[in-house]
Amino acid sequence: MEKKRILFVSQEIAPFLPKSELANTARKLPQGVQESGKEIRVFMPRFGVINERRHQLHEVIRLSGMNLIIDDNDHPLIIKVASIPTARMQVYFIDNEEYFKRKHVLTDAKEEYFDDNDERSIFFCRGVLETVKKLGWKPDVIHCHGWMTSLMPLYIKKIYANDPHFSDAKVVYSVYDNEFNKNWDNRFDEKLKFEGFDDETIADLKDGSFNSLNKTAMKHADGVVLGSEVIEGELAKAYEEATCHKLDFAPEEAQAKTVSEFFDKVIEEEVLI
């Protein structure tokens, strides 16, 4: 029987970035799912704070060299890779000098969220999908972690829906309580229109807020996982009202088994109506 293929996409992964709930989950969960018998690929942004020498990142020339057009501007796509020897796991990094060279992650030295986080998210999500296509690797499930991946369900369901590489892929979105306090650029809706999204999708996301991004991701996902034990307010309500498959928070010791079985359920069953 052919192994199920799971694509993990996360804005943070330990040990490349400081430990957080999200970074730890995105580090340990792929390893556990791989050990359960599934095939995995793992992607994250190559933020400038990541020490390339210490973590032995190197560019994958055969995958690099593409350009992605965002808001009518060309941006070179560079792919790097590193191994986590203790996990027998490789991590692919999406890199671009303009978006990811700065020596910060999501906020500047004054803890202000970057004005171009919307474009960084667009570039990251599209960069992952184009790289996976170039790898010739067709995922059964794409599991997204963190708000920088919140556009991924929309790309799969709206832009790549007829692409034979992703037409059968299911999307699972993990919701975390890692809220940001600065809405995305007020031209975000124009940038989405340039990407090819329809008016309904753009209307759902127009304000570029943390809540609207997560709620829209849940709306278009085939499965939603609670990545944090406690989710409050609008997100909690959106999770309760979601009509897709849902998985409540699982403690670390049970997480890999629980989530792996959830993937099987999402793959094998139609989304609830």
pLDDT at 273: 39
Residues whose CB falls within 8 Å of the CB of residue 100, separated by 6 or more in sequence, listed in order: 45, 46, 47, 48, 94, 120
- DSSP strand pairing (245-247 vs 223-226): parallel
Q: What is the pLDDT of residues 151-161, one digit of tens each?
A: 999 999 999 99
CATH number among 3.20.20.70, 3.40.50.2000, 3.40.50.2020, 3.90.850.10, domain 5-268: 3.40.50.2000
Q: Where are the beta strands (DSSP E) in the chain?
A: 5-10, 39-45, 58-59, 66-70, 73-84, 89-95, 141-145, 170-175, 223-226, 245-247
Return the residue matching tokens 């359960």.
36
Which residues lie across from 20 on neighbouring strands? Answer: none
Quickly count: other Cβ atoms within 10 Å of residue 215's Cβ: 21
Quote the CA–CA distance of 123 and 70 in Å, as a whole number: 7
Instruction: Parse the chain into domains and list their residue ranges.
Output: 5-268
Q: At what angle do helices 117-135 and 188-195 cross, to 10 degrees?
A: 20
Q: What is the mean pLDDT of residues 223-230?
A: 96
CB 22 within 8 A of CB 227: yes
Q: How confident is the model at residue 270 (pLDDT cuts 50, 70, 90)?
A: low
Residue type, 252: E
State residue 3 phi and psi, 5-degree precision: -65, 140
pLDDT at 271: 45
Q: What is the pLDDT of residues 29-72, one digit of tens each?
A: 999 999 999 999 999 999 999 999 999 999 999 999 999 999 99
Task: Output the pTM of the full model.
Answer: 0.96
